[in-house]
Structure 1
Amino acid sequence: MSKYLLNKFLFTVDRDPELVERYREEPRATVEWWESEYANRILGSHSGESSTWLRFDDIEREALAAHDYPKLFELGAHPFLTLTLFIAMFERDYAEPLGFQLEYAQRLSHHTLPYPDIAT
C-alpha cells in the first residue's frame, strides 16, 4: 500500500478539470490509465523523469475505481485531497448548499480519534 501514490492520484486529478470529469464519468478506466501513464512520473519534473516501482494494490485500485472515499480515508488518503476532488465531482448533484460536504461528513462519522494515519 502506498499513501503517497493515493495522494498523488488525488492531487494530480483534482488539478486538471478534464481529468476530474474523466474520473467522474469513467472511474475505473481513468484509474487504470493514470496508473500506467502517471503513477511513476516524478511530481514537478518537466524532463520526463520517472521511477518504475509505484503501483496501486488491489484494495487501493478498487477504492479509487468505486469512488469509495470512506475506504480511501481508512487507507490513509489525505482527507483534504479526497474532499476537494469529490466536491469537484459531485457537489453539482445536490440541490442544497453544502450537500456533498454533509454527505461526506456523515459517511465518515463512524470514525473516532485517532483517525487513520495520513503521513506519507
Structure 2
Amino acid sequence: MSKYLLDKFLFTVDRDAEWVERYREDPRAAVERWEDEYANRILGCHCDESSTWLRFDQAEREALATHDYPKLFELGAHPFLTLTLFIAMFERDYADEPLGFQSEYARRLAHVTPPYPDIAT
C-alpha cells in the first residue's frame, strides 16, 4: 500500500479539469490510465525522469475505481485531498442544497472516530 501514490492521484487529478471529468465518467478506466501514464512520474519534474516501482494495490485500485471515499480515508488517503476532488466531481449533483456534497461526505464518514487513520506519507 502506498499512501503517497493515493495522495498523488488525488492531487494530480483534482488539478486537471479533463482528468476530473474522465474520473467522474469512467473511474476504472481513468485509474488504469493514470496508473500507467502518471504513477511513476516524479512530481514537479519537467523532464522525462521517472521511477518504475509505484503501483496501486488491489484495495486502493478498487476504492479509486468505485469512488469509495470512505475506504480511501480508511486506507490513509489525505481527507482534504479526497474531499476537494470529490467536491469537484459531485457537488453539481447536490446543487439544490447548500454544502450538499460536503454533508453527504460527512454522513458517509460519520462512522469513523478518533484516532483517525495516519495520513503521514
TM-score where L is the length of structure 2: 0.98
Q: Which runs of 5+ in 2 are unaligned?
A: none
Q: CA deviation at 1:80?
A: 0.2
Partner amino acid, structure 2, of 1:48 = D
- CA-based RMSD of the aligned residues comes to 0.4
Residue 44 of structure 1 pairs with residue 56 of structure 2:
no
Question: What's the counterpart of residue 117 of structure 1?
Answer: 118
The alpha carbon displacement at 1:2 in A equals 0.2
Residue 62 (structure 1) aligns with: 62
- 1:26 and 1:110 mapped to 2: Cα distance? 28
% identical equivalent positions: 84
Report the Cα distance in structure 1 between the residues aligned to 2:44 and 2:29, rounded to whole angstroms.
24
CA–CA distance in structure 2, aligned partners of residues 89 and 81 of structure 1: 13
How far 1:12 moved relative to its partner?
A: 0.1
- Corresponding position of 1:5: 5
How many aligned residue pairs are there?
A: 120
Deviations 1:7-44 (A, max 9, x none): 00000000000100000001000000000000000000
SS, match of residue 52 in structure 1: coil
Partner deviation per Cα, 1:44-72 (whole Å, 9 max, x = no partner): 00011100000000000000000000000
Q: Name the counterpart of 1:84.
A: 84
The letter for the 1-side match of 2:14 is D
Runs of at least 4 residues off by over 2 Å: none
Structure 1 distance, partners of 2:35, 2:106, is 28
Secondary structure of the residue aligned to 1:64 is: helix
| Structure-1-length-normalised TM-score | 0.99
By how many angstroms is 1:93 displaced? 0.3
Q: Distance between the aligned counterparts of 1:26 and 1:112, measured in 2? A: 31
**SS of match in other structure, 1:87:** helix
The Cα shift of 1:97 comes to 1.1
